[in-house]
């Protein structure tokens, strides 16, 4: 399932990224590097499909096998916030 919170990008506030990082789709490694090297923005790893530093599965998506009380979404009753 694609994450509706980050619209499948794996990041929140992607509109604040420079245009050259958005032109051909989101390259997660490049965006993570940009986040680390730049201040004054709110771009971050999606807190619905990740922990703010990395993703539980693929960036921008949710794996149904991760649902449940023992998975990464246990804090939210076992489901991603955008479910």
Q: Which two tokens stand for residue 4?
A: 């509706």
* Per-residue confidence (pLDDT) for residue 27, from 0 to 100: 94
Give Cα separations from 46 to 7, 16, 31, 62 (angstroms).
10, 14, 12, 12
| Cβ atoms < 10 Å from Cβ of 59 | 21
pTM: 0.89
Q: What is the DSSP string of 16-82?
A: GS-GGGTTTS--HHHHHHHHHH--S---EE-TTTB-SSSBSSSTTB--GGG-STTSTTGGGTTS-TT
Q: What is the pLDDT of residue 53?
A: 87
pLDDT tens digits, one per residue of 13-56: 999 999 999 988 899 999 999 999 999 999 999 999 998 889 99
């Amino acid at each position: 399932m694609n994450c509706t919170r980050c619209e499948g990008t794996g990041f929140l506030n992607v509109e604040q990224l420079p245009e050259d990082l958005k032109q051909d789709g989101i390259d997660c490694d490049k965006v993570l590097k940009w986040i680390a090297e730049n201040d004054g923005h709110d771009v971050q790893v999606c807190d619905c499909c990740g922990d703010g530093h990395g993703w539980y599965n693929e960036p921008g998506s949710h794996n149904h096998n991760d649902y449940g009380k023992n998975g990464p979404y246990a804090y939210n009753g076992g489901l991603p916030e955008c479910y």
